[in-house]
Amino acid sequence: MKNRMMNSAATIGLLFGAGFAGATLTTTSAQAADLTLCWAAWDPANALVEMSKDFEAQSGHNMSFEFVPWPNFADRMLNELNSGGKLCDLLIGDSQWIGGAAENGQYVKLNDFFDQEGIKMDDFLPATVTGYAEWPKNTPNYYALPAYADVVGWTYRKDWFERPELQAEFKEKYGRDLDVPKNLAELKDIGEFFQGREIDGKTVYGAAIYTERGSEGITMGVTNALYNYGFLYENPDKPYDLEGFVNSAGAIEGLEYYKALYDCCTPPGASDAYMSQNIDAYKSGQVAMQMNFAFIWPGVEADPNVGGGKSGYFANPAGPAGQYAQLGGQGISVVANSDNKDAALEYIKWFAQKDVQQKWWDVGGASAMRAVVEDPGFASSQPFAQTFLDSMAIVKDFWAEPAYASLLLPMQERIHNYVVAGNGTAKEALDGLVKDWDEVFEDEGKK
């Protein structure tokens, strides 16, 4: 997942408002300590609790866990960092936090520790290193170890797609088989085909997509269209130069596509939907397809209504400008204000082992270690494993600037106002976003 963002401008004022002195790394073994690991409250966290019993047995340290529901996770944890609290020794925090946490000394810089322990970032998927560990981006400065690899992809009702009568009707209408879409245009066709259709005596709809406004939802959704139509965050040759990139002709077309997908193909009451709402819509049999982060796929497979071969998975389809998907996931960091940094570093060392990473995948986590995900047997280890690989190979991410919350909030507002509320045009929305983001970067002294 990415961050579950702030719900008010007041929260932005709390983000990374205080700095802490950097930690001194040591190579000595830590005395037995009570460690607290902080993360969001969800199934992978429960799996990590069980795995961590092995660490306790090997190290002699005692593990405690502070898990916060996703809607409150960012507020709770960022307030903890900024207040100088000592609750968390280890924090699995969202990728967007890296910039502020690094610049304000809230995470321990791990380069020396990695060198001492032979932990190599080349052993992890490059996109997760850039997304979860580095600041500044694309420099060898590490403040986290990739902990949970995630990405937006698609789930579909394979059992519906395979029905002969639907196959025949779709083939007659569109001249191709009803199958995994090769591009976003085909995805929209499939959504329209299922919209309002009756299946097994129940009215169903085309697709559940992200539309939530209060945190980050619609941004994490719309980018899967914007990227593939040519949207860029900035001029590749001139940082923070936004005009003509954020609001390019292709980006405008991509935003128009996302609105058209919302208008044509979503179920009733989908004006403020994010992960849980999409899961509910899919598992209850309302929709033929859902957009969601890959973390949901083990739960889909295990669900009595949609699992057991009834569902299939595919990577976000290509658009006119290429094929990309929104990165999710998190890295694990040592909190600089912890009194147990040596013991926390031992946990990082333990978690970075290949056998631990393999177990992490086996129990329902999502390893970013190449030795795990590039193993010849990985693709067949789960019905969704190949789609996970395909998706992680095409990721892009939102800004990880220290001012990311100030960048996120106007995007949420402008995209939602256009896509869901129907206000103005796509061009007006993106032109306004350029203005908003220019002001943020001017305030930051970066323009």
Question: Minimal CA–CA distance to 207: which of 134, 276, 154, 149?
Answer: 154
Task: Check pLDDT > 50 for residue 5.
Answer: no
Query: Residue 70 has what pLDDT?
Result: 85
Q: Is 25 helix (H, G, I), strand (E, B) or coil?
A: coil
Tell me: the pLDDT tens digits for 32-55? 899 999 999 999 999 999 999 999
Residues 305-336 as b/e (b if ≥16 CB within 10 A, e otherwise) read ebbeebbbbbbbbbbebebbbbbbbbbbbbbb
Determine contact, residues 46/68, Cβ cutoff 8 Å.
no
Helix (H) / strand (E) element for 199: namely: strand 198-199
> How far is residue 312's CA from residue 412's CA, in Å, rounded to a whole number?
30
CATH domain 34-149+328-396 topology: D-Maltodextrin-Binding Protein; domain 2 (3.40.190)
Sorted by sequence, the CB contacts under 8 Å of residue 240 that are 6+ apart come out as 234, 441, 446, 447
Confidence of residue 22 (pLDDT cuts 50, 70, 90): very low
For 213: left if phi > 0, alpha if psi spans -120 to 50, otherwise beta; the answer is alpha
pLDDT at 7 over 70: no
Furthest-apart CA atoms within the chain: distance in Å: 71
What is the DSSP code string of 216-261?
SHHHHHHHHHHHHHT--SSBTTBTT--TTTTT-HHHHHHHHHHHHH
pLDDT at 17 over 80: no
267 cis-preceded (ω within 30 degrees of 0): no
User: What is the model's pTM?
Assistant: 0.91
pLDDT the model gives residue 30: 54
Calculate the average pLDDT of the chain.
92
The beta-strand segments (E) located in 16-84 are 34-40, 62-68
Structure tokens at 397: 């991410």
- 152-326+400-444 falls under which CATH superfamily? Periplasmic binding protein-like II (3.40.190.10)
Q: Is 289 left (phi over 0), alpha (psi -120 to 50) or beta?
A: beta
Provide the token pair at 247: 């609001």
Q: Where in the chain is the domain with CATH 3.40.190.10?
A: 34-149+328-396, 152-326+400-444
State mean pLDDT over 394-408. 94
